[in-house]
Amino acid sequence: MSDLASLEALTLEAIAAAGDEAALDAVRVGALGKKGSVSALLATLGKMEPEERKVRGASINKLKDAIVEALEARKAILKQAALEARLKAEIIDVTLPVRPSPLDTGRVHPITQVMDELAAIFADMGFSIAEGPDVETDDYNFTKLNFPPDHPARDMHDTFFFEPGPDGTRKLLRTHTSPVQVRTMLTQQPPIRVICPGRTYRCDSDQTHTPMFHQVEGLVIDKQANLGNLKWILEEFCKAFFEVPDVTMRFRPSFFPFTEPSIEVDIRCSRKDGEIRFGEGDDWLEILGCGMVHPNVLTACGIDPEVYQGFAWGMGIDRIAMLKYGMPDLRAFFENDIRWLNHYGFRPLDIPSLVAGLTA
């Protein structure tokens, strides 16, 4: 066998044995590359006589053509095999059920839902939403709200205080959202009509209390604000929130440093088999506290109590969420249990609306 025939046989055998395109390219470079075996043969033609070069050159070119043809054929086979392997690996079993989308699996926490419900109800009455920082000063949290210096709420047993600053004063985690009312009165001129939802903090923990909880307060400051206005607002809120046609409310005298007179409000309900229903029955349930804003608070916030008066109220968002949606333990709100959230949570697009219904 001649040297050309032997080289052709070895090269074609190597081409046929190439298992992928990288191996095939290595064979190509070994034969046709700059330093390949066929290229080396072509380099020898320059030293031959014309007649010998003509015969030898034709043979070498024939060998080169055969190798190129074999390379292209093998490359096509390898490409097809690679495509088939990829298709097999990426195959989709259309008989499997479709995976649920995030809109189907995601849930809005009941606290967030109730806050949205509150915003929808009070916005319909012309209220805006006011917000403030969770870390407050003693002045905003207590002093400007008419708390005496020796009031029990200032004690460490109720309030989370920070270490004293360079000036000796201590900041604290707000114990109610009333400081937001203070900030609003200090920065806005009456008439004022706002609600103040947010997180609050107190040293307490049991089935119906947690160290961090949510509260919403309302504030109205005007020249003619009165208890009749307050009573109407609270009745309309309870009817809209609990989605009942009518409610019966009972107003009892109480005491809060920042209101005078101060009132606690009960709502008529029925209790049966552990379920509370509003708008019916012969039982009562305390729902919130309220009253006329104390003149000392108005004065501390730069509002003349001889010209303006106002009323305010406050309630626990976690508590009214438990009452409306039948949740037995407040602590479950903060346990991050996905099973609980799947049961009590709301779909992301269940946006509260007074037209479509708060929980439609």
Residue 299 belongs to a domain: yes
| Cα angle: 251, vertex 120, 258; to 5 degrees | 40
278 and 232 housed in the same domain: yes
pLDDT of residue 83: 86
HSE of 336, CA atoms in CB hemisphere, 13 A: 0
Does residue 64 contact residue 36 with C-beta atoms inside 8 Å? Answer: no
142 and 52 housed in the same domain: no
pLDDT of residue 188: 94
Q: Which of 89, 124, 157 is the last residue of a domain?
A: 89
Residue 349 belongs to a domain: no
Token pair recorded at residue 105: 């699996």
193 and 146 housed in the same domain: yes
The number of distinct structural domains making up the chain is: 2
Residue 220 belongs to a domain: yes
82 and 113 housed in the same domain: no
Residue 356 belongs to a domain: no
268 and 305 housed in the same domain: yes
Q: Which of 54, 89, 124 is the last residue of a domain?
A: 89
Terminal-residue alpha carbon distance, the chain: 90
Question: ω before 152 within 30° of 0 (cis)?
Answer: no
CA distance 195 to 128: 6
pLDDT of residue 143: 92
Residue 180 belongs to a domain: yes
Residue 187 belongs to a domain: yes
Q: Give pLDDT tens digits along the chain (360 positions).
A: 467 778 777 888 888 888 888 887 888 888 778 777 877 777 777 777 777 777 777 777 787 788 888 888 888 888 888 888 888 888 777 787 878 877 777 888 889 989 999 999 999 999 999 999 999 999 999 999 999 888 777 776 588 889 888 888 889 999 999 999 999 999 999 999 999 999 999 887 666 667 888 999 999 999 999 999 999 999 999 999 988 889 999 999 999 999 999 999 999 888 877 778 887 788 898 999 999 999 999 999 999 999 999 999 999 999 888 888 888 777 888 888 888 888 888 877 777 766 555 665
Q: Which residue has the tokens 């390949």?
A: 36
Q: What is the CATH number of the domain that holds 227?
A: 3.30.930.10
pLDDT of residue 324: 85
CA distance 176 to 185: 16
Q: Which of 44, 64, 89 is the last residue of a domain?
A: 89
pLDDT of residue 1: 41
Q: Which H/E stretch holds residue 325?
A: helix 317-325
74 and 168 housed in the same domain: no
Torsion of CA 57, 58, 61, 63, to 10 degrees: -110
Does residue 153 contact residue 256 with C-beta atoms inside 8 Å? Answer: no
Radius of gyration of the chain (CA): 41
Does residue 340 contact residue 109 with C-beta atoms inside 8 Å? Answer: no
pLDDT of residue 134: 94
CA distance 81 to 86: 9
Residue 246 belongs to a domain: yes
The 3-state secondary structure of 113-124 reads HHHHHHHHHHHH
Q: Which H/E stretch holds residue 74?
A: helix 50-89
185 and 294 housed in the same domain: yes
Does residue 264 contact residue 284 with C-beta atoms inside 8 Å? Answer: no
241 and 304 housed in the same domain: yes
72 and 125 housed in the same domain: no
70 and 132 housed in the same domain: no
155 and 276 housed in the same domain: yes
55 and 79 housed in the same domain: yes
CA distance 324 to 213: 17
Residue 46 belongs to a domain: yes
**φ and ψ of 350, to 5 deg:** -80, 70
- Domain span at residue 117 reads 103-344
